[in-house]
Amino acid sequence: MLGLEAQSDKIRNEKVFKDFLEVCQRCRILIHNGGVINRVYLDKCVASGIPRESLGKEGERVDISEKYAKRASARVFQVGYYLLHLYLQRSFPEDADLSYKSLLSDAHTFLENDLTKMSLRICDFAEYSAKNFDQDLKLRFAVNRAL
């Protein structure tokens, strides 16, 4: 398992985390700037690794389409969900298997509801954060991934 600092850097480079940061910045300009893109929004998003051309231009009003709202909700859920499981695994290592079993169950539930991307993301996260997976749990995640 990666050290905490290396793990933190890896997480910050993940697309889901970058998307989450953009959602937070967009929320900030909606609340504090009437939804108008400003230099702070652009600078913070670019600094977090989001391509400038995907952000719109300074002075434009941001758009919140149905697609964006769904994606933003998913990113907020994912980051909170991942942080919860990382906290549980680090704070209660003797019970980490409960976290992994919950991840497996949740991945399966998303799969049953045709939310295959979310299921795959949970499998990726679980396998990335798994320190003490037993063979049975590895196989179960592999089955979810294959489905």
Give pLDDT tens digits for 26-45.
999 999 999 999 999 999 99
Per-residue model confidence (pLDDT) at position 114: 93
Same domain (yes/no): 50, 81: no
Same domain (yes/no): 75, 42: no
pLDDT band, very low/low/confident/very high, at 1 (cuts 50, 70, 90) = very low
Average pLDDT of the chain? 85
Separation between Cα atoms, residue 106 and residue 100, nearest integer Å: 10
Per-residue model confidence (pLDDT) at position 130: 62
Tokens of 100: 């992994």
Please tell me the pTM assigned to this model. 0.75
Separation between Cα atoms, residue 38 and residue 95, nearest integer Å: 46
Of 132 and 17, more confident: 17
Range of the domain at 138: 65-147
Same domain (yes/no): 19, 76: no
Same domain (yes/no): 40, 69: no
Same domain (yes/no): 58, 72: no
Tokens of 70: 């769904």
Q: Which residue, of 64, 99, 118, is where some domain finishes? A: 64
Same domain (yes/no): 140, 89: yes
Which range among 25-34, 69-78, 120-129 shows the weakest confidence by mean pLDDT?
120-129
Q: Which residue, of 44, 64, 84, is where some domain finishes? A: 64
Per-residue model confidence (pLDDT) at position 105: 94
Identify which of 60, 64, 139, 61 has the alpha carbon closest to the alpha carbon of residue 100: 139
Half-sphere exposure of residue 96, counting CA atoms within 13 Å on the CB side?
16
Residue 17: pLDDT above 90?
no
Q: How many domains is the chain partitioned into structurally?
A: 2
Residue 7: pLDDT above 80?
no
